[in-house]
Structure 1
Amino acid sequence: MTFENTLAFAQQLDREDTLADYREQFLHPIINDQQVLYFTGNSLGLQPKAARDYLDIELNDWAKWGVEGHFYGTNPWVSYHELLTPASAQLVGANDSEVVCMNSLTTNLHLLFVSFYRPTKQKYKIISEAKMFPSDRYLLETQVRHHGFDPDDAIIEIAPREGQHLIDEQDILDAIAEHQDELALVFFGGVNYFTGQLFDMKKLTQAAHDVGALAGFDLAHAVGNVPLHLHDWQVDFAAWCTYKYLNGSAGNVGGIFVHDKHGQDTSIPRFGGWWGHNKERRFLMENTFEPMSGAEGWQLSNVPIMGMAVLKSSLDIFAQAGIENLRAKSLKLTAFLEFVFNDVVAKFEHIKLQIITPIEPMQRGCQLSVKLIGTDKSFFQALTNAGVIADFREPDVVRLAPVPLYNSFEDVYQFGCRLNTLLREYQHER
């Protein structure tokens, strides 16, 4: 498609968009009496309008039933998490038995590492990406130390080549082959939080399995963003948060995937809790842990109902819209943002803003990371003051996420207008 950086063209794309009506199912922030352009769904998704209604159901049942709401509420709390499973499984390409919503992201990853990072003196190394999200790096560091290994030896970080911003996947494959005799685990973010690079999880999983290692992924920036097929890709385990693209509310419950080849094996070591115990015998208060089969066997405590109710309001929207449909719009919307951005920036030769996210659409989700060259964080603040809500990552990157559920093509055009005004002011000042 040949794009045009005009309001008429953007509005025409919106008229042709079969998903356009979903935008009206979300609340769009008004800050300082100004309707902002919201491009940070990769950090915190917008609130579904239905969230309050879903939450009110549970608040009313709490008022009506008290503790009996666990069994007699509109959505009995004792099994509430099961309501989230079908939509979650669909989003990650899994069987229902392979998915459960519980805890929070890094907590879940630590629990999964108990089962899937079981190093020996011979096979103890982990291959991951450099510039991973800090919480993941802390996870790896503390896990290998817990097992008595030196992080500088046990963690192999694959970085971009000199002068590049993205990781060459061949370098990952080469590292897997080089360290195959010592390799226990390949662990990557499905989409790198900093650059927005989407990794080929199927290829990395196969490469890990070929040398007798396991493969796991942090899907915080992938779930609800790109189609996933974790079961078919034979991924061993994965975890994600729900407050970014899944619009689950700040700090809400996370989710896990455990492939059935592992989940159906209840002998796999894990940390136990009563919500992961045989649910038919859960309330008998027995002393010996008998894990449920499937991902549910990794649960610990009873679930946070109010947070899950908010999450359900969004997952129901995803189930209606369909991740494949959202991906089709995302590819066009992100490409339009890239076009508008480049069209505007090309007019200002003394200010260099560089997109470091992959140019190839299939190697990214709905995120463009922009490196600030010749300016500093004050530019990001000026962007915020102009009513563009993005986010900043040290030392010099602004991340923009045009989310297909609630961003429009006109949003992108208006962003270009505000960017043009800012760059004109910066050029004049300099």
Structure 2
Amino acid sequence: MSADELAAYDADHVWHPYGAFPASTLPLVVDSASGVALRLADGREVIDGMSSWWAAVHGYRHPRLDAALHAQVDRMSHVMFGGLTHAPAVELTRRLVELTPEPLQKVFLADSGSVSVEVALKMAIQWQRATGNPERTRILTWRGGYHGDTLNPMSVCDPDGGMHAMWTGVLPQQVFVPAPPTEWSDEYADTLREAIREQAGHLAGVIVEPLVQGAGGMRFPHADYLQVLREETRKAGIALIFDEIASAFGRVGGVTAAELAGVSPDIMCVGKALTGGYMTLAATLTTDEIAADISAGEAGGLAHGPTFMGNPLACAVACASLDVLAEGAWRTQVPRIERELRDGLASLRNAPGVRDVRVLGAIGVVEMDEPVPMQTATDALIDAGVWLRPFRNLIYTMPPFICSSDDIAAICSAVEAAVSASTAR
């Protein structure tokens, strides 16, 4: 098929994320990718300022990651994980235990970020049942959050401003507290304490995205609220869950947000950048105590087991990705990107139609007053040589860590073009 034929057939038959039929626009056909560039079928090249939804932190066709996949496929591409194990899974587990806070010693390998959160919520609820608290089934979370698109994760996404409002009445009823502010507030901290204390008898866990609320609005909560959550959940015997699917592996400036905040959760979810964006894989980590209690409970173990759990290809490339991270280049790359995004986007703070500009680590966000006209903004971005995926009223970037200063400058210029195009209507 030609590029036009591919796009036309895609528009008629392929259901894209959050898409509809008929498609409002034809998708761009990508022919190949290398470094930070996507090569489109029409010959144009654009900088991927999204890291393929925040995952491809090392860029594309990284020689170490490519080699890991080739070597593993020559040994085995997959084997069931029930009753069997293999070196890539064991090695990946060892590295995850070493990289995350010390209490996290047990690792469940999941298919995707949503599945990782699903498992985390089940862990929390099953732990309460196993320890004699079957009435503790609800989860407390911040408004403005996003945790995935399967049913249980949807139930802890923002119930009004998120993407899942239509499911109200179908999803489990959870406990929501106001979205956390960027600055420290004694009053807000007291709100958190009171909510947990009032609801403790019904709560199995508390789940939050530490330091960065991702697809729920790209907000950056103050780190010290995590310590408040840690203190209150520990007192109440409630599991504290950190959804680090977006934040882990360097994106916010540390290996994990937990590391930067100095707070250890009872359960942690990681994904996205885990494989460097090569394959789908996530993990849910927990403590020896929770694992032992669940194992001694009525079910005799954790009641979850995906067919492709611990896929050897995904585990092998994840190990290679963590090898690259361990070499530490990102520790200078991410602060540089942060500085360059702050400088490059600063002029937009006073631009017409812009509500806010914020940057954290390798994340740059321009929040508009009105919803972004998707096609208009995308056209402006592509014309400027950059691929971004605005949503709602946000134009944001999460670039690969290997972006050069020139790449970041190009991304900032493209964002400025998209803002201008969006407000010129």
TM-score interval w.r.t. the shorter chain? 0.5 to 0.7
* Aligned residue in 1 for 2:220: 197
CA distance in structure 1 between the partners assigned to 2:71 and 2:369 by the alignment = 50
- Whether 1:56 aligns to 2:70 is yes
8 Å contact from structure 2 (residues 46, 386) kept in 1? yes
Using the TM superposition, give the Cα deviation of residue 379 of structure 1 relative to its aligned residue in structure 2, in angstroms.
2.0
TM-score (norm 2): 0.68
Number of residue pairs aligned between Structure 1 and Structure 2: 351
- Whole-angstrom CA distance in 2 between matches of 1:56 and 1:417: 38
Pairing 1:216-235 to 2, within 5 Å after superposition: 216-224=241-249, 225=251, 226-228=254-256, 233-235=263-265
What residue number does 2:317 align with? 310
Aligned to 1:397: 394
Counterpart secondary structure, 2:218: coil
SS at match of 2:54: coil
**C-alpha distance in 1, partners of 2:381/2:204?**
44
The one-letter amino acid of 2:373's match is: D
Output the amino acid matched with 1:240.
V
Which of 399, 410, 414 is equivalent to 2:410? 414
Please say which structure displays the higher CA radius of gyration.
1
Residue 356 of structure 2: aligned partner:
355
How much does 1:236 deviate?
1.3
What's the counterpart of residue 211 of structure 1?
A: 236
Task: Say whether 1:379 aligns with 2:392.
Answer: no
Find the counterpart in structure 2 of residue 11 from structure 1. Answer: none
| Matching of residue 238 in structure 1 with residue 268 in structure 2 | yes
Partner of 2:23: none
Please give the alpha-carbon distance, in whole angstroms, between the structure 2 residues aligned to 1:356 and 1:270: 50
Give ranges in structure 2 of 5+ residues lacking alignment.
1-33, 157-168
Contact 1:344/1:416 (<8 A) preserved: no
User: How far apart are residue 249 of structure 1 and its match?
Assistant: 2.1
Alignment partner, residue 11 of structure 2:
none
Gaps in structure 1 of 5+ consecutive residues: 1-24, 68-75, 144-149, 272-288
Tell me the SS of whatever aligns to 2:377: helix
Specify whether residues 257 and 298 from structure 1 end up closer, same or farther in structure 2 by C-alpha distance, changes over 3 A only.
farther
Residues 1:326 and 2:330 are matched in the alignment: yes
Match of 1:106 among 102, 109, 114: 114
1:143-182, aligned counterparts within 5 Å?
154-160=173-179, 170=189, 171-182=191-202
Give per-residue Cα distances to partners, 1:370-392, cap 9 Å, x unaligned. Answer: 22236632224421342222222
**1:138 equivalent in structure 2:** 151
SS at match of 1:135: coil
Report the Cα distance in structure 1 between the residues aligned to 2:98 and 2:379, rounded to whole angstroms.
38
Query: 1:153-172: CA deviations, max 9, x gaps?
Result: 941222348xx899965243
Q: Residues 222 and 332 of structure 1: is their aligned pair in 2 closer, same or farther, counting only changes over 3 Å?
A: same
1:369 and 1:229 mapped to 2: Cα distance? 18
- Kindly state the Cα deviation for residue 96 of structure 1 after the two structures are TM-superposed: 7.7
Match of 1:282 in 2: none
Question: Paired residue for 1:370?
Answer: 366
Q: Quick check: 1:388–1:415 contact (8 Å CA) kept in 2?
A: yes
Q: Does 1:343 align with 2:351?
A: no
SS of the residue corresponding to residue 97 of structure 1 reads strand
The alignment's C-alpha RMSD in Å is 4.0
Q: Give 3-state SS (helix, strand or coil) of 1:93's partner.
A: coil
Taking structure 1 as the reference length, the TM-score comes to 0.67
CA distance in 2, matches of 1:167, 1:425: 35
Contact 2:182 / 2:220 at 8 angstroms: preserved in 1?
no
| Distance in 1 between residues matched to 2:274 and 2:385, nearest whole Å | 21
| Corresponding letter in the other structure for 1:205 | R
How far did residue 124 of structure 1 move?
4.0
8 Å CA contact 1:166–1:195 kept in 2: the answer is no
**Equivalent AA in structure 1 for residue 120 of structure 2:** L
Structure 1 residues 101, 320: CA separation in 2 closer, same or farther (over 3 Å shift)? farther
Q: 1:39 aligns with which of 37, 49, 73?
A: 49
